[in-house]
Chains A and B, each alone.
Chain A
Amino acid sequence: MVPDGTTMVRIDGTTLDGPTVGKFLSPTRFEACLPEGVCLADFALAADLAGTPQLGWWGDWRQPALGDMYLRPDPSTGVADPDASHITCYLGSFTALDGTPLPVCPRSVLHAQIERLARLGYQARAAFELEFFLVDESIGRARQQGFTGLTPLGGPGHKLPYVTQRGPEFLPILRSTAWRLERLGIPWEAFNEEAAPGQFELNLAPADPLTAADWTVRAKGALRAAAYEHGRAVTFMARPFPSYGSGLHLHLSLWRDGSPCFDAGGDALGHWVGGSLATAAGALSVCAPTINSFRRQVDFAAAPTTPTWGEDNRGVAVRTISRPGGSARVEHRMAAADANPYLVAAVVLAGGLAGLEQRIDPPAPSTNLPWGLPDGHDRLPASITAAAEALAADERLRKGLGDGFVDHWVESRRWEWLMYHSEGDDPDPAEVTDWERRRYFEWV
C-alpha cells in the first residue's frame, strides 16, 4: 500500500471542529496497522479547540477511561505530501475498536448520508467554494501578537470584490497553492479576491461529496503551507475582521443513472429545496459551529439570515441555479468558512434527503433581498445556542445524522458557548474578541 520511496506515512482525520488530527508513522508500522488503522485516544473527539476535555455528557461511543479508537486510513486517498514527497498522506475515518464507524466521526457521518442517497437511487456531485483571509504577518508573528493587530493582505482599506489589478501582491501565494493542489490531485477551478480586505475565494471542481470534502480539507492545508512559505498567515475564521465574513458555500447537483435531476422537469429539485429549508434552522448549527460564525450571521454581511430560497438570489439560504443539463445545481449558502466540510456536506445531504423521502414542497421562492426585513419574517437562529436547540429538536436531521452525532454535537456547542462566556466576553460585544482570535484563527 505504501509507494516506493516513502519514509514516513501521515494519517489525518478531522475532529468535529475541523482541525486535522492523526499520526506520523514509519512505513513498517503503517503496514502493520492495516486495515484497522492507528490508535488514538478517543479524547481527540471530545476536547474543544483549546484542548480542554468537554465535560457534561458522555456518548456511548466513548471508552470509559480515555481509551483507544482507530483512525482507519482510506487507501484511495494516498498521495505524496507536496512539501515532502517522501511522506505519503492518507485521510481516514474514526472507528471503534471493533471497526464500527464512530457516530461522531465527520467523514463517517458524511459517508452514511451518501449511502442513504444511493439507497434512493441517487448520486450527488458537490463542489465547495472556500473563502479565507490572508494577513501580512507570518503565523509565528500572528501567534506572538495573540492574533491581534493583524493587517489583511493588501491593506485594511476598502476594496472591490473580484478586483484583479493587485495580483502581484497575492499571486505568489496563489501560485504556490495551485502548485500544491496539483500535486495533491485536486482540480481547482478559480481564485478571486473577495469583497473584504485580505479576503479571497478558491473554487474547487465538483466531485462526489466525500471526495469534495476530502479535497477541501487538503486545500486548507495547501493554503496554510503556501502562506507559511511566503511568510504570511491564512485563516478560515468566519469573521476575523469587522468587514464581510467568509463562507463555505456548497454547490450540489443530484443524479440518477447518469442523468441530472435538477434540470427542468421532475420533483427532485423542489423536494430537495423543501427539505433543505425545513431543516435549515437545525442545519445552521453544523454550518455555523463557532461563536465567531454568528458574527457573520447578520444581515447585509453576505450570509443568509432567513430560511429562504430563490433562483440566482445570493441573499437566500438555498440558491437555485438553473442551467441546462448537468450544470443545474443548488448552492447551499449557509455554511461559514469555519465549518467542517464533511459535516456541512452531511447536513446538506440529510436535509435534502428528508425532502426527497417525505416529498416536502418548498415555500414560495424569494425574489427580493432577504436582508433588513421587518419583524414577522421567519429568521434563522441568531446564536450558537439557539441553533443547537433547533438541531436538537429536528427529528428529520436526527434520523439522518443519528442521535449519537446530534446529541454530542449539541452538547459540544453548548460547551463552546459556556467557554466563551466563562473565558471570553459576556455579554457579546459588537467587535470580534481576542478570545475568538486566539481560539479560532489557526485551528478552524
Chain B
Amino acid sequence: MHSDAPQVTWEHDGPPIVRMLGASLRRTMADPRVAGRMGRLRGRVALRSTVGPQAATIEVERGSIHVTGGVAAGAGVVVAADLDTMGRPGAAKPEVRGALRHPRLALGMSRALAGPRPGEWPAAVDALWDWSRLDAARPQGLRVVCTDDGREHVVGPPGAPQLEVHGPAWALLAVFTGADHLGAALIEGRVQAVGDLPALSRFVGVATRFMLGEDGAA
C-alpha cells in the first residue's frame, strides 16, 4: 500500500455492496498512481442499481475514503448501473449524473472503480491467492482455465492442484476480483469447477471473505 494512500473504511455491519466496494477500493489503493489521484479528491459519489434497491455512497475526503449504504444526500456524482450484469459482455453502460459539474471526481472515481481488464484475470488469481495465504480453507493448489482461449494459470505447490476453476475471462475476472460471488457464479453457470466438494465449498468461503474485505486468515 502506498504510504500516502487514502485510508478506506466502510459502514460497520453494512450490506454486501458496501463491503464489496470498500474492499475493492482498498485493493485499488495499492496502485500508487490511483492512490495519489484519489488522495487529492473530495466529494461524494453514489452507485445505484438500476434493477434493484442496492446503492452505496463513496465519500472521498482528501486522505480518506468511507463507504456507506444508500445514496447520500449531496452526492455530486451518481452512477446508475445494472449491478447484476455489470462487467459482463453486452452489459448496459452505466449512466453517470453530475460528471459535468464534478469532472475530476467522476474521472478519478471511474478509474478507481474500473478494475483490471478481462485479460488480466491471472493477476487477479495471484492477488486472491496471495491474500489468502494464511487461510486454512485455501485449497492445495488451484488451476484456472480460461475457456475463451484455453490459457491456464496454476497457483500453489507443485503437483496436481486440488481444484480447477474454468470460465470465460470476464467471469474469471469477476470472481477473482471479488466483483462476483464464486458460489453464485458456480450455481448459475458463469464458471465451472473440478475438484472435491469440501475443498470447493471452502474455497467459495475464501473468495467470499476476499469479496467482502475480511481478514485473509480464517
Contacts and interface: CB of A to CB of B under 8 A. Distances in A.
Contacts of A417: 16
Interface in A359-398: 382-383, 385-386
Interface of B: 13-17, 52-55, 69-70, 137, 181-184, 186-187, 196-198, 200-202, 204-205, 208
A385 B19 CA distance: 13
A180 to B, nearest CB: 39
Given A56-B204, A418-B208, A425 B13 contact: no
Given A425-B52, A427-B69, A58 B15 contact: no
Nearest to A52: B187
B198 A421 contact: no
Pick the most buried of B15, B52, B69, B205: most chain A CB atoms within 10 A of its CB: B15
11 contacts: A55-B182, A55-B183, A58-B201, A66-B197, A385-B13, A411-B205, A426-B15, A426-B16, A426-B53, A428-B15, A429-B53
A323 to B, nearest CB: 40
Contact of B53 (A386, A422, A425): A425
B4 to A, nearest CB: 32
A352 to B, nearest CB: 29
Interface in A28-60: 52-53, 55-58
A62 B198 contact: yes
Nearest to A66: B197
Please list the 5 inter-chain residue pairs (A to B) with the smallest Cβ-Cβ separation, ordered nearest first: A56-B205, A55-B183, A427-B69, A55-B204, A58-B198
Nearest to B209: A56
B208 A56 contact: yes
Contact of A58 (B52, B202, B208): B202
Interface class of chain A by DSSP: loop
B54 A57 contact: no
B15 A427 contact: yes
Given A55-B204, A422-B181, A64 B54 contact: no
Pick the most buried of B54, B70, B198: most chain A CB atoms within 10 A of its CB: B198
A55 B182 CA distance: 9
Contact of B16 (A65, A411, A421, A428): A421
Pick the most buried of A52, A62, A422: most chain B CB atoms within 10 A of its CB: A422
B189 to A, nearest CB: 14
Interface in A165-213: none
Nearest to A418: B16
B16 A422 contact: yes
B66 to A, nearest CB: 15
Contacts of B198: 58, 62, 64
Interface in A58-84: 58, 62, 64-66
A57 B182 CA distance: 13
A421 B201 contact: no
A427 B72 CA distance: 12
Given A56-B204, A58-B202, A65-B196, A427 B55 contact: yes
Given A55-B204, A55-B205, 6 more contacts: A55-B200, A421-B54, A426-B17, A426-B52, A426-B53, A426-B54
Nearest to B70: A427
A151 B201 CA distance: 42
Contacts of B183: 55-56
A382 B12 CA distance: 12
Nearest to B54: A426
Interface string A243-279: 0000000000000000000000000000000000000
